[in-house]
Structure 1
Amino acid sequence: MLAAAVAAAGVLTPAAAAAPMSRQACPEPAPGQARCLTTYTPRAVRAFADGPAGWGAADLASAYRLLDQAGPDTVVGISIAFDAPNLEADLAVYRAQYGLPPCTTANGCFRKVNQQGAAAPLPPGSFGWAIESTLDVSMVSAACPSCRIVVVEGNSPGFADLAETEDTAVRLGAKVVSNSYGAREGGAPLAYASHYQHPGVTVVASSGDSGFTAASYPAVLASTVAVGGTSLARDPDSPRGWAESAWQYGGSGCSAYIAKPRWQRDTHCGKRTVADVAAVADGLAVYNTDVGGWLPVSGTSASAPFVAGLYGRSGRAGTAQPADVYADAARFTDVTTGNNDPNGAGKKCGGDYLCVAGPGYDAPTGVGVPDGLSGF
């Protein structure tokens, strides 16, 4: 009844934000390129007021028990393809909406460069990748309002260009780098694996948006914290006040190439299993000028930069590595419901933990979702 009443009033709820009307932000990638992992709901098929639609920074702070206190000014790097011309202005609207301090070029918080690290010339713009960039910087801001952000824009989503953005972000001082794109693992992308391993840097990547399937690169790398996706809902009857389940499209998989890390001990995948941790990936509110303002977006492109921001806020960015997630598993909130087999409710993996959430480790949500900063 509440959802119906809200919809009748012209306001889109977070649950409605994930409706089937959503569409992929980016076109299908060409061979040798990564996919951007964002879906959005076009304004033409939405009917709500001009305010935020979906979960905002205040909701995430509540759901993940983020205390209202100043954090460090850790540099968080965003590896992305193409230019988002309105990125700084759009981020300003998001941060003002949720009472977050300004993050601008002028105050030294925000920096946008090309893949060589120069302020100009920037690569060509891309509508879909710009939405992804907007989501990235918004989620870092929600997780760590005090962090500085450096966005490194590649000339293309090609593996070589994205690898260079990674190196550049590190060279410019990033202690944690977020990668919210992915490609099916294989020889071509894995040739660039070394670019996602830097001493003194924590690397985070989205697990993918195709459900249980082949493992996604660069999330599958043993040097990378792979972040899966969840769906979030208010639950006033629980002590936490929130309920969370595996997002039906969140990526998971068993690598065909990467050896099993010694710190990962699940038994039904003989090699690297994706994911390690998870966070909300369904129905996030962001502001993007190209689509006319506020819009709801979904994708593990939200959960990876959010987790990257938490690493930045924890003060352990750079020293924290994937193995630490498993050593600190008890400090995360276990997700025990849902699956990421959109068409078969878990049949794709035979009801196994590789695509069905349950007590303890499971591939869609890893060891669980953030409980404050204790696990980071």
Structure 2
Amino acid sequence: MNTRSPRTAGRLRLMTVLAAAGALMAGFTTTASATPTAGHGKGNVTKVCGTAKAHQARCLAELRTDVHGGKGVRGAAAGMAGAAAALPQGLSPADLRAAYHLPATGGANQTVAIADVGDDAAAEADLAVYRSTYGLPACTTANGCFHKVNQRGAATPLPPDQGWGVEIALDLDMVSAACPQCKILLVEADSASFDDLGASVDEAVALGAGEVSNSYGGDEGGDVLSSAVHYAHPGTAIVASSGDYGYGIPSAPAVFPSVVAVGGTSLTKAANTRGWTESAWSGAGSGCSAWIDKPAWQHDANCPGRMVADVAADADPQTGPAVYGTVDGLTGWGVVGGTSASSPYIAGVIALAGHPQKFADASAFYTDHSGLFDVTSGTNAERMDCGGDYQCNGVAGYDGPTGWGTPNGIGAF
């Protein structure tokens, strides 16, 4: 990977923008999961993970605090007439499948890994409730579909709970929603350090994952560049959330050139031909790298470095998916968003299509994006304005918040 100093000639205007963004972000303190925050103009959102320490990442899940409904429907009852009346709030797997024109089957030979921090002791049991509620096939340790390991690939000992339980539930549910027939590997890192998370990604690949989703991030910079090697695995699709702070400093690992950076949208039902409308989500991370050279396959006009993001899916907690969990502040059904939702969903779509070898990087989307919905409205310039161009606004063609767009079937994957 080529890197460049932030003082490289011709980057002065960019660095002025990024410095201002950094100052804004430094003044925006994330909160622990028990404390609501005015998430992107809304007072009904809690950021699941608190502020990250130096050389550490934070998870990017955002939990709605005003949604506490839906008991779910278990087992065979999920397929019975009238079951929909008991379904929880939030988008269902069927909603997302309809919105993105995805097939109901595929990916049976794929294993999607998610790298998270700490143990969620209820992960398998909570996943069972989610999948049975929506009539998805069981995914358990017993039937060989679900596996949970530590960052060394062993079933024991598992690390202690570190407050990422809602994130883990979201990741498991979104992979399930996108690819119900895929196997799922949960790799639990010892800590949120980039060293431990990177080791978890390496282990996921060693254990045979075709796709690895990383729903976390930290500001790019010299202290995280050494971690890039852990996110470069040709033959495996490494996917990461673009971040939840809107336009500004790009998030690692999404900014690494070997990673598919997943931005976010607001997705709502509509009376149009598609049946849905989609715009750039105000929180979706985007930005122009001051450290990493632009890959040869990326050609946007106003950023001389790596530009984030590449592709997107629903991430707005106001239009987010239903998630089931019983740990770390989620006591049953809730609605959870953030680009922590879009990253595992896109990993699942890649698995559904069954060609992870296409995604040693994101170049495939830049070569042919005809199989994506172009998102042409919305902005993520809440804290920082990009001067009105594509870096922080949904526009025709490529833009920072949504990349080339969202899935329209599996043709682009």
2:380 to 333, 340, 355: 340
1:225 paired to 2:267:
no
Give the deviation of 1:70 after TM superposition: 4.0
Distance in 2 separating the partners of 1:134 and 1:48 = 17
Matches within 5 A, 1:162-173: 162-173=197-208
Give the deviation of 1:341 after TM superposition: 1.6
Matches within 5 A, 1:1-376: 19-42=42-65, 45-46=66-67, 48-50=69-71, 51-127=87-163, 129-236=164-271, 238-282=272-316, 283-290=320-327, 291-320=330-359, 321-342=361-382, 348-376=385-413
Give the deviation of 1:318 after TM superposition: 2.7
Distance in 2 separating the partners of 1:152 and 1:46 = 29
Once the two structures are superposed, what CA deviation does each residue of 1:19-41 show, in whole Å capped at 9, x if it has no partner?
42111111111111101101112
Contact 1:28 1:35 in 2 (8 A): yes
Once the two structures are superposed, what CA deviation does each residue of 1:137-177 show, in whole Å capped at 9, x if it has no partner?
11111111111111110010001100100100001000111
Distance in 2 separating the partners of 1:71 and 1:113 = 22
Contact 1:54 1:285 in 2 (8 A): yes
Give the deviation of 1:80 after TM superposition: 1.0
Report the TM-score, using the length of structure 1 for normalisation.
Answer: 0.91
Tell me the amino acid that sits aligned with residue 193 of structure 1. Answer: A
Contact 1:176 1:318 in 2 (8 A): no
Contact 2:67 2:89 in 1 (8 A): no
Tell me the amino acid that sits aligned with residue 338 of structure 1. Answer: G
Once the two structures are superposed, what CA deviation does each residue of 1:235-276 show, in whole Å capped at 9, x if it has no partner?
12x211100000000100000111111111101000100000
Tell me the amino acid that sits aligned with residue 103 of structure 1. Answer: C
Query: What are the ranges of 5 or more consecutive residues in structure 2 without an aligned counterpart?
Result: 1-40, 72-86
Tell me the amino acid that sits aligned with residue 55 of structure 1. Answer: L
> Closer, same or farther in 2 for the Cα pair 1:86/1:155, shift >3 Å?
same
Once the two structures are superposed, what CA deviation does each residue of 1:265-321 show, in whole Å capped at 9, x if it has no partner?
101000100000000012221001122200011100000000000111101013333
Query: What are the ranges of 5 or more consecutive residues in structure 1 without an aligned counterpart?
Result: 1-17
Report the TM-score, using the length of structure 2 for normalisation.
Answer: 0.83
Contact 2:68 2:334 in 1 (8 A): no
Distance in 2 separating the partners of 1:285 and 1:341 = 27
> Closer, same or farther in 2 for the Cα pair 1:250/1:232, shift >3 Å?
same
Give the deviation of 1:53 after TM superposition: 2.0
Distance in 1 separating the partners of 2:132 and 2:42 = 27
Tell me the amino acid that sits aligned with residue 333 of structure 2. Answer: W
- Greater CA drift, 116-125 or 24-33: 24-33
1:9 corresponds to which residue?
none
> Closer, same or farther in 2 for the Cα pair 1:272/1:370, shift >3 Å?
same
Identity of aligned residues (%): 51
Distance in 2 separating the partners of 1:82 and 1:325 = 33
Tell me the amino acid that sits aligned with residue 374 of structure 2. Answer: D
Give the deviation of 1:46 after TM superposition: 4.1
Distance in 1 separating the partners of 2:69 and 2:110 = 37
Contact 1:235 1:241 in 2 (8 A): yes
Equivalent position SS for 2:51 = coil
Distance in 2 separating the partners of 1:253 and 1:157 = 23
Contact 1:252 1:274 in 2 (8 A): yes
Give the deviation of 1:350 after TM superposition: 1.2
Distance in 2 separating the partners of 1:270 and 1:173 = 35
- Greater CA drift, 321-330 or 178-187: 321-330
Structural RMSD (CA): 1.6
Contact 2:106 2:354 in 1 (8 A): no
Once the two structures are superposed, what CA deviation does each residue of 1:315-340 show, in whole Å capped at 9, x if it has no partner?
10133331001112122110001001
How many aligned positions are there? 354
Distance in 1 separating the partners of 2:300 and 2:306 = 9
Give the deviation of 1:125 after TM superposition: 0.5
> Closer, same or farther in 2 for the Cα pair 1:68/1:184, shift >3 Å?
same
Equivalent position SS for 1:21 = strand
Give the deviation of 1:99 after TM superposition: 1.0
Give the deviation of 1:194 after TM superposition: 0.6
Distance in 2 separating the partners of 1:71 and 1:186 = 36
1:15 corresponds to which residue?
none
Equivalent position SS for 1:229 = strand
1:5 corresponds to which residue?
none
> Closer, same or farther in 2 for the Cα pair 1:168/1:348, shift >3 Å?
same
